[in-house]
Amino acid sequence: MDLSQWADSGESPRIAKAQAGLRKFVNIWWAKHQKRIAFEWLKSGSSNQKKEDTEAILDCIRQAKGCTYWSWTRGSWLFFWKFPEEWRNDFRDGIPFWKLTKPPKGYICNMKAPPHEAELATRLKIFKFKFNYYLDQSEVNLLIPRFIVPKVVADDGTILDVRCVWDCKINGHNETLYAPSFMLPTALDAKDQVVKWLPMSVGEYLQLSLPVIDYTEETSSNIKSTQGDIDVGQHFNSFRVRPLDHHALGVRHHYTWTNPKTGVDEEKEVWLRFNCCPFGW
């Protein structure tokens, strides 16, 4: 990771190395501190489900010990014991689904990712899910097919990074659940917040190579707004799914395995299942 943006002016390599060591120490201390707080909470009598709470706490601390100062490299669960009592069990186990009917059963195949590098990038994403303890190997009776959306593409067309989307619509699962509707940005947002305030037509603005516009007028005559894109990563993976619903969140995991007897690389497939909320569901 490039740490230059956090460095002080004139920072020497010796200071940078000392800071790296300090970050490691702080990370270790923090994980131990969280463990102490969690088990003090258990001993305080605030827990009404000792077995379930203890197992969930051990999962949280395992991931906390595996993280770095900068990222949750082994995934993360919510520290449920820090929430008010009325919400603790939901944050520990997940919120129950609002079901219209039982989920279907089926084993749909994945949608193909034609470029070889896209398929490899997708397999790496799935391996990271497993590495982060978001995927378990257990009974599955409904598989979620996946498709990819390129995120980073080189000038020569090579796909460098992808977004893996799990399609719970095509396998029929979404139709069995009730979820409140929500609004996504549309072209009207650009029209209401940008286009209508241009001092010229959009065509003229584009022909002038998008000149900087002065928006310093009074708010009475010019509505001002600020937009931003805050990427919080895979935050939805921190929200668990109740164990009774894991069976309907299966995924196909493909990997290459070298046969020790023949030395030949073989394609293997195993069915895993999400224990958290997957993207696209």
CA distance 30 to 22: 12
Q: Which domain holds residue 52?
A: 9-93
Q: Same structural domain for residues 158 and 261?
A: yes
Q: Same structural domain for residues 70 and 136?
A: no
Sequence-distant (≥ 6) Cβ neighbours of residue 178 within 8 angstroms: 98, 99, 100
Q: What share of the chain is helix, strand, coil (3-state, %, to 5)?
A: 40, 15, 45
Pick the last residue of a domain from 93, 126, 144. 93
In the chain, the number of structural domains is 2
Q: Same structural domain for residues 145 and 81?
A: no
Q: Minimal CA–CA distance to 16: which of 1, 28, 27?
A: 1
CA 248 to mean position of chain CA atoms: 19
Residue 208 within any structural domain of the chain: no
Residue 224 within any structural domain of the chain: no
Alpha helices in the chain (DSSP H): 13-43, 50-66, 85-93, 116-131, 187-193, 202-207
Q: Same structural domain for residues 81 and 165?
A: no
Q: Same structural domain for residues 244 and 168?
A: yes
pLDDT at 159: 87
Q: Same structural domain for residues 89 and 122?
A: no
Q: Same structural domain for residues 18 and 147?
A: no
Pick the last residue of a domain from 93, 128, 157. 93
Q: Is 231 exposed, middle or buried (0-12, 13-18, 19+ CB in 10 A)?
A: exposed
CA distance 75 to 33: 19
Between the alpha carbon of residue 16 and those of residues 1, 21, 73, the distances in Å are 13, 9, 22
Q: Same structural domain for residues 27 and 79?
A: yes
Q: Same structural domain for residues 251 and 139?
A: yes
pLDDT (tens, 9 = 90+) of the chain, 281 residues, equals 666 667 777 788 888 889 889 999 999 999 999 999 999 999 998 888 899 999 999 999 999 999 999 889 999 999 999 999 999 999 999 988 889 999 999 999 988 767 888 888 889 989 999 999 999 999 999 999 998 888 888 888 888 888 888 899 999 999 999 876 666 667 676 666 666 667 778 788 888 887 877 766 666 665 555 666 666 656 778 889 999 999 999 999 988 889 899 999 998 999 999 999 887 66
Q: Same structural domain for residues 246 and 139?
A: yes
What's the pTM value of the predicted model, to 2 decimals? Answer: 0.76
